[in-house]
Amino acid sequence: MRRPWSDVAIQECGEPLESIRGRFLCLEPHPYVQLGAPYGQQGDPFRVRSSVLSRLAQAQNHLTQHPDSQIGSIQLLVFDAWRPVSVQAFMVDHAVREECGRRGLEPTMPQWTRALEDVRRDVGRFWAPPSDNPRTPPPHSTGGAIDLTLADACGAPLSMGGEIDAIGPESLPDHHAASAKINPESLEALWHHRRCQLQAAMEHAGFVRHPNEWWHFSYGDQLWAWKAEASMAIYGRVDNN
Protein backbone atom coordinates (compact mmCIF):
# COMPACT_ATOMS: atom_id res chain seq x y z
CA MET A 1 0.00 0.00 0.00
CA ARG A 2 1.69 3.19 -1.18
CA ARG A 3 1.53 6.13 1.21
CA PRO A 4 0.65 9.68 0.08
CA TRP A 5 3.98 10.85 1.55
CA SER A 6 6.10 8.29 -0.34
CA ASP A 7 7.03 10.77 -3.09
CA VAL A 8 8.42 13.40 -0.71
CA ALA A 9 12.11 14.00 -1.37
CA ILE A 10 14.65 13.31 1.38
CA GLN A 11 17.73 15.41 2.10
CA GLU A 12 19.48 13.58 4.93
CA CYS A 13 20.78 15.98 7.59
CA GLY A 14 23.07 13.48 9.32
CA GLU A 15 21.78 13.78 12.87
CA PRO A 16 22.76 10.79 15.03
CA LEU A 17 20.48 8.49 16.95
CA GLU A 18 20.41 9.15 20.68
CA SER A 19 19.03 7.06 23.52
CA ILE A 20 15.70 7.84 25.14
CA ARG A 21 16.47 5.64 28.14
CA GLY A 22 16.93 7.49 31.41
CA ARG A 23 15.33 10.63 29.99
CA PHE A 24 11.78 9.43 29.38
CA LEU A 25 9.66 6.59 30.67
CA CYS A 26 10.06 3.57 28.37
CA LEU A 27 7.93 0.44 28.21
CA GLU A 28 10.11 -2.38 29.47
CA PRO A 29 10.67 -5.06 28.43
CA HIS A 30 10.42 -3.82 24.88
CA PRO A 31 7.47 -5.63 23.25
CA TYR A 32 9.12 -6.41 19.90
CA VAL A 33 12.40 -7.53 21.47
CA GLN A 34 10.35 -9.97 23.54
CA LEU A 35 8.89 -11.38 20.34
CA GLY A 36 12.39 -12.04 18.98
CA ALA A 37 12.54 -9.18 16.46
CA PRO A 38 16.02 -9.06 14.84
CA TYR A 39 17.52 -5.86 16.24
CA GLY A 40 21.00 -7.36 16.58
CA GLN A 41 23.38 -6.91 19.49
CA GLN A 42 23.72 -3.14 19.08
CA GLY A 43 20.15 -2.46 18.01
CA ASP A 44 18.56 -0.52 20.86
CA PRO A 45 14.97 0.34 19.83
CA PHE A 46 14.69 3.22 22.31
CA ARG A 47 16.63 5.67 20.15
CA VAL A 48 15.61 8.66 18.06
CA ARG A 49 17.34 11.48 16.20
CA SER A 50 18.79 14.19 18.41
CA SER A 51 16.22 16.82 17.39
CA VAL A 52 13.42 14.36 18.09
CA LEU A 53 14.82 13.84 21.58
CA SER A 54 14.86 17.56 22.32
CA ARG A 55 11.32 17.91 20.98
CA LEU A 56 10.15 15.10 23.23
CA ALA A 57 11.40 17.19 26.14
CA GLN A 58 9.26 20.07 24.88
CA ALA A 59 6.24 17.79 24.69
CA GLN A 60 6.82 16.54 28.23
CA ASN A 61 7.18 20.12 29.47
CA HIS A 62 3.84 20.93 27.88
CA LEU A 63 2.21 18.06 29.76
CA THR A 64 3.86 19.18 32.99
CA GLN A 65 2.50 22.69 32.53
CA HIS A 66 -0.98 21.35 31.75
CA PRO A 67 -1.75 18.68 34.38
CA ASP A 68 -4.84 16.52 34.00
CA SER A 69 -7.83 17.91 35.87
CA GLN A 70 -8.65 14.51 37.36
CA ILE A 71 -5.35 12.73 38.04
CA GLY A 72 -2.83 15.56 38.10
CA SER A 73 0.62 15.02 36.60
CA ILE A 74 0.89 12.92 33.46
CA GLN A 75 3.92 11.90 31.44
CA LEU A 76 4.94 10.41 28.13
CA LEU A 77 5.41 6.64 27.99
CA VAL A 78 7.47 5.50 24.98
CA PHE A 79 6.37 2.23 23.40
CA ASP A 80 8.74 2.10 20.43
CA ALA A 81 11.09 4.34 18.47
CA TRP A 82 13.87 3.42 16.01
CA ARG A 83 13.10 0.27 14.05
CA PRO A 84 15.41 -1.14 11.35
CA VAL A 85 13.87 -2.49 8.16
CA SER A 86 14.59 -6.08 9.25
CA VAL A 87 12.44 -5.54 12.34
CA GLN A 88 9.76 -3.85 10.24
CA ALA A 89 9.57 -6.96 8.02
CA PHE A 90 9.46 -9.22 11.08
CA MET A 91 6.66 -7.22 12.69
CA VAL A 92 4.57 -6.98 9.52
CA ASP A 93 4.67 -10.78 9.22
CA HIS A 94 3.83 -11.08 12.92
CA ALA A 95 0.88 -8.69 12.58
CA VAL A 96 -0.47 -10.66 9.62
CA ARG A 97 -0.22 -13.95 11.53
CA GLU A 98 -1.85 -12.43 14.62
CA GLU A 99 -4.69 -10.95 12.60
CA CYS A 100 -5.29 -14.25 10.78
CA GLY A 101 -5.49 -15.97 14.16
CA ARG A 102 -7.86 -13.33 15.50
CA ARG A 103 -10.16 -13.87 12.52
CA GLY A 104 -9.95 -17.66 12.78
CA LEU A 105 -8.32 -18.04 9.37
CA GLU A 106 -6.38 -21.16 8.37
CA PRO A 107 -4.43 -21.94 5.15
CA THR A 108 -6.65 -25.00 4.61
CA MET A 109 -9.78 -22.88 4.27
CA PRO A 110 -11.12 -22.57 0.70
CA GLN A 111 -11.30 -18.77 0.93
CA TRP A 112 -7.76 -18.51 2.35
CA THR A 113 -6.17 -16.62 -0.56
CA ARG A 114 -8.84 -13.92 -0.63
CA ALA A 115 -8.98 -13.72 3.16
CA LEU A 116 -5.21 -13.34 3.39
CA GLU A 117 -5.33 -10.49 0.88
CA ASP A 118 -7.90 -8.75 3.08
CA VAL A 119 -5.72 -9.22 6.16
CA ARG A 120 -2.63 -7.86 4.40
CA ARG A 121 -4.62 -4.85 3.22
CA ASP A 122 -5.92 -4.12 6.71
CA VAL A 123 -2.50 -4.62 8.30
CA GLY A 124 -1.02 -2.37 5.62
CA ARG A 125 -3.15 0.54 6.84
CA PHE A 126 -1.13 0.54 10.06
CA TRP A 127 2.22 -1.10 9.26
CA ALA A 128 4.43 0.53 6.62
CA PRO A 129 5.93 -1.79 3.97
CA PRO A 130 9.46 -2.93 4.92
CA SER A 131 10.95 -1.18 1.90
CA ASP A 132 14.70 -1.33 1.26
CA ASN A 133 14.37 1.54 -1.22
CA PRO A 134 16.21 4.56 0.29
CA ARG A 135 13.56 6.81 -1.27
CA THR A 136 10.72 5.17 0.68
CA PRO A 137 12.03 4.23 4.13
CA PRO A 138 9.52 3.04 6.76
CA PRO A 139 9.04 5.99 9.15
CA HIS A 140 10.49 4.19 12.18
CA SER A 141 13.64 3.26 10.26
CA THR A 142 14.53 6.96 10.05
CA GLY A 143 14.71 7.62 13.78
CA GLY A 144 12.10 10.33 13.28
CA ALA A 145 9.00 8.34 14.25
CA ILE A 146 7.93 7.36 17.74
CA ASP A 147 5.05 5.36 19.23
CA LEU A 148 3.96 6.52 22.65
CA THR A 149 1.11 6.92 25.08
CA LEU A 150 0.40 8.63 28.41
CA ALA A 151 1.11 7.47 31.94
CA ASP A 152 0.29 8.82 35.40
CA ALA A 153 2.87 10.24 37.79
CA CYS A 154 3.73 6.72 39.02
CA GLY A 155 4.36 5.44 35.48
CA ALA A 156 1.15 3.43 35.10
CA PRO A 157 -0.17 3.56 31.51
CA LEU A 158 -3.48 5.37 31.06
CA SER A 159 -6.31 3.74 29.16
CA MET A 160 -6.61 5.37 25.74
CA GLY A 161 -9.56 3.43 24.33
CA GLY A 162 -7.50 1.13 22.13
CA GLU A 163 -4.22 -0.73 22.31
CA ILE A 164 -1.13 0.38 20.42
CA ASP A 165 -0.77 -1.65 17.19
CA ALA A 166 -4.44 -2.72 17.19
CA ILE A 167 -5.66 -3.50 13.67
CA GLY A 168 -9.07 -1.90 13.64
CA PRO A 169 -11.08 1.33 13.72
CA GLU A 170 -10.34 1.91 17.42
CA SER A 171 -6.82 2.90 16.37
CA LEU A 172 -8.03 5.90 14.36
CA PRO A 173 -7.21 9.08 16.32
CA ASP A 174 -10.78 10.39 16.39
CA HIS A 175 -12.54 7.03 16.79
CA HIS A 176 -14.22 8.07 20.05
CA ALA A 177 -14.97 11.68 19.09
CA ALA A 178 -18.62 11.17 18.13
CA SER A 179 -19.43 9.21 21.31
CA ALA A 180 -17.60 11.81 23.39
CA LYS A 181 -19.77 14.56 21.92
CA ILE A 182 -22.98 12.64 22.64
CA ASN A 183 -22.00 11.85 26.24
CA PRO A 184 -19.22 14.00 27.73
CA GLU A 185 -19.27 11.87 30.91
CA SER A 186 -18.64 8.57 29.12
CA LEU A 187 -15.49 6.46 29.00
CA GLU A 188 -15.28 7.29 25.31
CA ALA A 189 -15.11 10.96 26.23
CA LEU A 190 -12.26 10.26 28.64
CA TRP A 191 -10.36 8.29 26.01
CA HIS A 192 -10.88 11.00 23.39
CA HIS A 193 -9.73 13.65 25.86
CA ARG A 194 -6.53 11.75 26.60
CA ARG A 195 -5.79 11.25 22.92
CA CYS A 196 -6.25 14.98 22.45
CA GLN A 197 -3.91 15.67 25.38
CA LEU A 198 -1.22 13.54 23.77
CA GLN A 199 -1.76 15.16 20.39
CA ALA A 200 -1.64 18.69 21.83
CA ALA A 201 1.64 18.03 23.63
CA MET A 202 3.30 16.43 20.61
CA GLU A 203 2.07 19.02 18.12
CA HIS A 204 3.22 21.78 20.48
CA ALA A 205 6.71 20.32 20.06
CA GLY A 206 6.49 20.18 16.25
CA PHE A 207 5.45 16.57 15.70
CA VAL A 208 2.68 15.40 13.38
CA ARG A 209 0.38 12.47 14.03
CA HIS A 210 -0.12 9.50 11.72
CA PRO A 211 -3.61 9.69 10.15
CA ASN A 212 -4.48 6.11 11.16
CA GLU A 213 -2.72 5.72 14.53
CA TRP A 214 -3.42 7.71 17.70
CA TRP A 215 -0.02 6.69 19.14
CA HIS A 216 2.34 7.40 16.20
CA PHE A 217 4.05 10.78 15.83
CA SER A 218 6.79 11.92 13.47
CA TYR A 219 9.29 14.69 13.05
CA GLY A 220 11.70 15.05 10.13
CA ASP A 221 10.60 12.03 8.08
CA GLN A 222 8.49 11.92 4.92
CA LEU A 223 5.22 11.71 6.85
CA TRP A 224 6.15 14.85 8.78
CA ALA A 225 7.16 16.70 5.63
CA TRP A 226 3.90 15.74 3.89
CA LYS A 227 1.65 16.83 6.76
CA ALA A 228 3.69 19.92 7.65
CA GLU A 229 3.93 20.92 3.97
CA ALA A 230 7.71 21.08 4.23
CA SER A 231 9.71 21.09 1.01
CA MET A 232 11.48 17.84 1.91
CA ALA A 233 12.17 15.35 4.66
CA ILE A 234 15.42 15.67 6.60
CA TYR A 235 15.68 12.07 7.83
CA GLY A 236 16.27 9.01 5.68
CA ARG A 237 16.81 5.42 6.75
CA VAL A 238 19.31 4.73 9.53
CA ASP A 239 20.56 1.14 9.66
CA ASN A 240 22.50 1.61 12.90
CA ASN A 241 25.01 3.96 14.51
Q: Quick one: CA dihedral 121, 225, 163, 182, positive or negative?
A: negative
| Residue 28: exposure state from Cβ atoms within 10 A (0-12, 13-18, ≥19) | exposed
Reported as a pLDDT band with limits 50, 70 and 90, residue 1 is low
Residue environment code for 43-52, b if the CB has 16+ CB neighbours within 10 A, otherwise e: bbbbbbbebb
Q: What is the pLDDT of residue 125?
A: 92
Residue in 55, 138, 48 with CA at minimum distance from that of residue 90: 138
Q: What was the pLDDT predicted at 70?
A: 86
Of 15, 18, 188, 213, the active-site residue reads 213
Q: Report whether 142 contacts 236 (CB < 8 A).
A: yes
Who has greater pLDDT, 235 or 107?
235
3-state secondary structure of 152: strand
- Whole-angstrom Cα distance, residue 152 to residue 71? 7
Residue type, 128: A
Contacts of 240 (CB under 8 A, 6+ apart): 40, 42, 43, 84
Q: Please tell me the predicted confidence (pLDDT) of residue 81.
A: 97
Mean pLDDT of 11-22: 96
pLDDT at residue 96 is higher than 90? yes
Give dist(CA 50, CA 69) in Å, integer.
32
Active site residue 213: yes
pLDDT at 43: 79
- pLDDT, one tens digit per residue, over 49-87 is 999 999 999 999 999 999 988 899 999 999 999 999 999
Phi (first) and psi of residue 166, to 5 degrees: -65, 135
pLDDT score for 3: 85
CA distances for 7 relative to 135, 188, 223, 231, angstroms: 8, 36, 10, 11
Residues 100-137: tens digit of each pLDDT = 999 999 888 888 899 999 999 999 999 999 999 999 99
Q: What percent of the chain has pLDDT over 70?
A: 99
pLDDT at 226: 97
Q: Which domains does the chain have, with CATH numbers?
A: 17-83+138-228 (3.30.1380.10)
pLDDT attached to residue 100? 93
Cα distance between residue 124 and residue 85, in whole Å: 15
Residue type, 96: V
pLDDT value of position 109: 87
Give the pLDDT mean for 42-48: 89
Structure confidence by residue, pLDDT tens digits, 155-213: 999 999 999 999 999 999 999 999 999 999 999 999 999 999 999 999 999 999 999 99
